[in-house]
């Protein structure tokens, strides 16, 4: 009996050891098969357009006919020397700085308020988040009607005796960019508020209670306990704000089309305007510049700011 059972046990254990060489790890061809559809879509809709844009940017091309007028990097030099494009970059820079200085602190303040025990906070969260649900086009159309001459805002100011405050909200070059920033902030502050609120709710209450027991004031508890623990959320929110400002198009185009006299143009509206003029080679060069700028900003931010959060998660794991 012993001699007959021993070989069976050996063969069985051999099969188990062969099948469990990498337990729970799928074979490489299974991984490749699962990744293939995503890689194909990425190549067709991301890599191919980038390569084609780089190709078109080297020609003086109006979108029709063959590419037969090779001009090298002249389109890039023209874009970088363009006063309109530099003005658009300046407007985007203003939106980035204003978002970081005004929009994010405002969203954080609202998140702190709604994280406390106040009546109707669930309703307030919904109300504040609702603008983010609207599309950019709808937002632009609504605010264009509100801010037009003798529109709802002007009539409201007149009703309360504030005629002196009435401005050409979307027609005055000195005011239009601030008006657009207000619209953009109204649209997106709800997203940042929700992110901050989620970060606040992830902070253990034991820490703030311990700080209070140790004699820390409300400000000191926020400064030395809440704010550092909320750092990863703030950094992600700031990153989204910067990238979103670099790509701003829909609201600006629907509201002002970059006017008046280019006072509210952004890099994206400037790019689209070149396509409308059938300057496809020049527009392609502008698109490559915008792409490189966004890529550099994203990589720079990832390397110097978000990297510490990733490393912290890896160390904790």
Confidence (pLDDT) at 10: 47
Q: pLDDT at residue 273 above 70?
A: yes
Average predicted confidence (pLDDT) for the chain? 86
Confidence (pLDDT) at 21: 55
pTM: predicted TM-score of the whole model, two decimal places: 0.83
Q: pLDDT at residue 2 above 90?
A: no
Per-residue pLDDT tens over the stretch 165-195: 889 999 999 999 999 999 999 999 999 999 9
Q: Where are the alpha helices (DSSP H) in the chain?
A: 2-19, 28-42, 48-56, 74-81, 83-98, 104-115, 121-133, 136-147, 152-159, 176-201, 205-213, 218-221, 227-229, 231-246, 250-255, 267-276, 280-301, 307-316
Per-residue pLDDT tens over the stretch 122-171: 898 999 999 999 999 999 999 999 999 999 999 999 999 888 888 999 99
Q: Maximum distance among all alpha carbons in the chain?
A: 107
Per-residue pLDDT tens over the stretch 192-232: 999 999 999 888 888 888 888 888 888 888 888 889 999 88
CATH number of 74-288: 1.10.3720.10
Confidence (pLDDT) at 14: 47
CB 169 within 8 A of CB 175: yes
Cβ neighbours, 10 Å, residue 61: 24
Q: Which has more confidence, 18 or 104?
A: 104
- Tell me the Cα Rg of the chain: 28
Label each residue of 185-212 as H, E or C: HHHHHHHHHHHHHHHHHCCCHHHHHHHH
The tokens of 18 are what?
């062969």
Q: pLDDT at residue 282 above 90?
A: yes
- Cα distance between residue 59 and residue 70, in whole Å: 4
Domain segments of the chain as ranges: 74-288
Give me the percent of the chain exceeding a pLDDT of 70. Answer: 88
Confidence (pLDDT) at 76: 94
Cα torsion 78, 83, 87, 88: sign: negative
């Amino acid at each position: 009996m012993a001699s007959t059972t021993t070989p069976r046990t050996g063969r069985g254990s051999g099969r188990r050891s062969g099948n469990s060489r990498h337990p729970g790890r799928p074979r490489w061809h299974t991984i490749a098969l699962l990744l293939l559809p995503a890689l194909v879509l990425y190549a067709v809709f991301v890599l191919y357009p980038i390569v084609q844009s780089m190709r078109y940017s080297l020609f003086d091309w109006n979108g029709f006919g063959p590419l037969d007028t090779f001009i090298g990097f002249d389109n890039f030099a023209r874009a970088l020397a363009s006063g309109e494009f530099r003005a658009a970059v300046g407007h985007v820079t203003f939106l980035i700085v204003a978002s970081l200085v005004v929009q994010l602190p405002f969203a954080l303040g609202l998140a702190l308020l709604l994280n406390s025990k106040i009546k109707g906070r669930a309703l307030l969260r919904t109300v504040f988040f609702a603008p983010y649900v609207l599309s950019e086009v709808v937002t632009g159309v609504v605010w264009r009607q509100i801010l037009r001459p003798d529109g709802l805002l002007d009539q409201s100011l007149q009703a309360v005796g504030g005629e002196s405050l009435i401005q050409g909200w979307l027609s005055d070059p000195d005011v239009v960019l601030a008006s657009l920033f207000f619209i953009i902030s109204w649209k997106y502050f709800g997203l940042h508020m929700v992110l901050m609120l989620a970060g606040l709710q992830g902070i253990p209450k034991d820490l703030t209670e311990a700080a209070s027991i140790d004699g820390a004031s409300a400000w000191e508890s926020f400064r030395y306990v809440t704010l550092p623990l909320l750092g990863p959320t703030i950094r992600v929110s700031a990153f989204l704000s910067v990238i979103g400002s670099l790509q701003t198009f829909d609201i600006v185009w629907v509201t002002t089309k970059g006017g008046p006299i280019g006072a509210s143009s952004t890099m994206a509206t400037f790019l689209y305007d070149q396509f409308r003029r059938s300057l496809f080679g020049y527009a392609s060069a502008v698109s490559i510049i915008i792409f490189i700028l966004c890529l550099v900003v994203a990589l720079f931010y990832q390397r110097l700011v978000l990297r510490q959060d990733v490393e912290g998660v890896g160390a904790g794991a």
